[in-house]
Structure formats: structure tokens, C-alpha cells
Amino acid sequence: MTFGDKLTKAAQAHGPLCVGIDPHPSLLDAWGLSRTAEGLERFALTAVEAFGGRVSMVKPQAAFFEAYGSRGVAVLERVIADLRDSGTLVLVDAKRGDIGSTMAAYAQAYLAEGSPLAGDAVTVSPFLGFGSLQPALDTARENGRGVFVLALTSNPEGEQVQRAVGPDGRTVAQTIIDFATVRNSGISPCGDVGLVVGATIGETDADLAGFNGPVLAPGFGAQGGSVTDLKRLFGTDMRNVFPTSSRDVLRHGPDVSSLVSAVRRVQESL
């Protein structure tokens, strides 16, 4: 199965919600856990217990694990393995982006079969040129995995680059969208190259009409994104839109049943 096939099947079973596992220090504090590798592991595995088998996709934020060095990366590897064992798709939020052999190495780490850091997809940054992503795009397709490419993020600084207009009159974001559209051409029902479009970006003139791939919409919930925002951005047909909620769900921990209830409430709202 392609990644698009897997994601479509998961959404049909559980709805479109993607839940993040973001072990932010303030959340560790709120859960009564220490800011150590042991606290990180307890936090992350509790989240896996609550989310595994209940949502279409889970997105661990790699940076919060890397902050604890090799022990933190080992926890991330276990999170990926346990979620995949539960039948839940894993999107590793690593936002990697580089050129040549370095990008190829990132692709091997996060997308190659047998790598302990390989989930079902990874986030990547195209701002060294969309062509720089080729090793990741190829490795993903070869292994039935996916890639989510940053396009329109909701951080204020992103506008300087993403909405800049090139010589052909297109914004950088639109150029990224167009490259991703071509990459997914002819694939049904959903391509393996996704886009990241923030739920709170406000108004945009980006054209997503021809894009045949998944759209990750972070910022839903605690960051202010609402169902109304999603409809305004993507229209009424949101079959391939996957809103992401992290803190809005995680703040209900550490009780597993409370986390499960929070997930269900967000799913119902969607």
C-alpha cells in the first residue's frame, strides 16, 4: 500500500484528527513529571497508550526528544515502534532539510525500512529548493511512506519567505504547492507528498484546488485554530485535511482516560 492508501484507510476508520506528542517542559511539570529522560519516557508512553489505535495519525515532535540526547532519541524510537505496533500511523515531526548526501542521510534515517527512527512519514523543509528534497521523496515512495512539506506555516516570520513573490509572479508557497501537485499527479486516491498549512494563517490566495495529497493543518485547538478556520481555508471538502492538536489534548494528562476523552471531544468537533 502507498502512504496515501494507508492514510485514507486510517481516516475512514478514525476520522481526520492527528494528535501531537510534544513533551514540552511545561507539560512535564503539569503532569508532575521530572524534566529528565525518565519523565520524558513516562509522558510519551502514557500518550501512546491513550492515542494508539484511536486516531488516524500521531505526530511526535522530535526536538523535544532530542533535547535529552541519546536517551531521548531512544524514547522516540520506542514511541515510533509502539505506535506502529498499535496500527497507528506515525508522522515524525523532524522538519529536516538539506542538500545532496546529507539529505539522503536524513531520508535513510526517517524513511528507510529498518531504521528505528522511521515512522510512516516525516516533515521536511523545502526552503533550500524543492529539488533538494528529491532523496526524501524517492526514499518515501520506495518504502510506502510519506513526506509532509512545509508550505504555509502560521509563525509570523514565515511570511517573509513563504509569501515572497518570485520572477514568475508566484509566491514561494505556491511554487511549493505546485511542485507537490506535480509529484502526486496520477496517484489515487491520495498522493504520498503532503503539505503543511497552518490552521491559523488567516487569509491566503494560495491555490490548493488541484492538489492531490494530504494537508496537515497544525494549530487547531490551543493555538486558536477552529473548524471555521479550516472551512475558510480549505472549503467544505476536507477529505484530505488532517487538523493537528497537541497541547489542547495533552493538557488533560496524565490520566489516560482523560486523554482519551479529550481526543473523542476533538474528533466529534471535526
Q: What are the backbone angles phi and psi of residue 28, rounded to the nearest 5°?
A: -60, -45
**Confidence band for 13, pLDDT divided at 50, 70 and 90:** very high
User: In the block, which residue shows the cell 485554530?
Assistant: 225
Q: What is the pLDDT of residues 192-227, one digit of tens each?
A: 999 999 988 877 788 998 999 999 999 887 667 788
> What percent of the chain stands above pLDDT 90?
85
Backbone Cα Rg of the chain:
18
pLDDT at 231: 87
pLDDT at 229: 86
Query: Who's near 73: CB < 8 A, 6+ residues apart?
Result: 65, 66, 117
Element (H, E) at 198: none
- Sorted by where each starts, the structural domains of the chain and their CATH numbers stand as 3-269 (3.20.20.70)
CA 96, CA 14: separation in Å to the nearest integer? 28
CA 95, CA 158: separation in Å to the nearest integer? 14
Mean pLDDT of 26-51: 98
User: Which residues have a catalytic role annotated?
Assistant: 95
Mean pLDDT of 256-270: 96
Mean pLDDT of 79-85: 98
The yes-or-no verdict on residue 265 having pLDDT over 70 is: yes
CA 58, CA 93: separation in Å to the nearest integer? 10
CA 132, CA 251: separation in Å to the nearest integer? 37
Mean per-residue pLDDT over the chain, rounded? 95
Q: What is the pLDDT of residues 132-171, one digit of tens each?
A: 999 999 999 999 999 999 999 988 899 999 999 999 999 9
CA torsion 180-185-190-191 (nearest 10°) is -50
Q: Which of 46-50, 154-158, 167-171, 240-244 has the lowest mean pLDDT?
A: 154-158
**Amino acid at site 121:** A
| pTM confidence score | 0.96
Q: What is the pLDDT of residues 118-128, one digit of tens each?
A: 999 999 999 99
Q: What is the pLDDT of residues 92-105, one digit of tens each?
A: 999 999 999 999 99
CA 158, CA 142: separation in Å to the nearest integer? 31
